[in-house]
Amino acid sequence: MARRTSGDALRTMLEAAGPILEQYDPEVILSLSRFTEQLPSVMNQITQGTSEFKPSPSENRETIKTRYTVPMTLLVKFSFDTIDETDQLEEILRPCVDAVGGTLSKVVLNGTHVTPCGQVSVKLSFLISSK
């Protein structure tokens, strides 16, 4: 079904949900819209056999080492995530963030790799105050 759903149909669904989404931050709506636009292409790639991320994790790590300049970085790790790479990412990011005089914080939350896909409300003030 997802493969047959066109980008136009997904956009129409997003527009129909507009009154419900109006209560959310415009940035959230923009992010959801961009996600929706990518879905048909991603589903097509999966149906054609794509099973790996591109760029690969090692290519991403190399790019991060040379290009990451975000001064305030928050890493979120989940307690029951068997494919988590947060600790390795922290090691790579630390020198990058230090080089720009920034801060790097990490929090560990209860959950799994798919927890962010759920509708669990996490107070931002908790995340910011936890280091």
Q: 90 and 58 in contact (C-beta within 8 Å)? A: no
User: String of b and e for 17-42 (b: at least 16 CB within 10 Å)?
Assistant: eeeebeeeeeeeeeeeeeebeeebee
Per-residue pLDDT of the chain (131 residues), as tens digits, is 444 555 566 667 667 776 776 776 677 777 777 777 888 888 888 888 887 778 888 899 999 999 999 999 999 999 999 889 999 999 999 999 999 999 999 999 888 887 777 654 444 444 444 44
Q: Which two tokens stand for residue 107?
A: 């929090």
The amino acid occupying position 61 is: R
Backbone angles phi, psi at 37, to 5 degrees: -65, -30
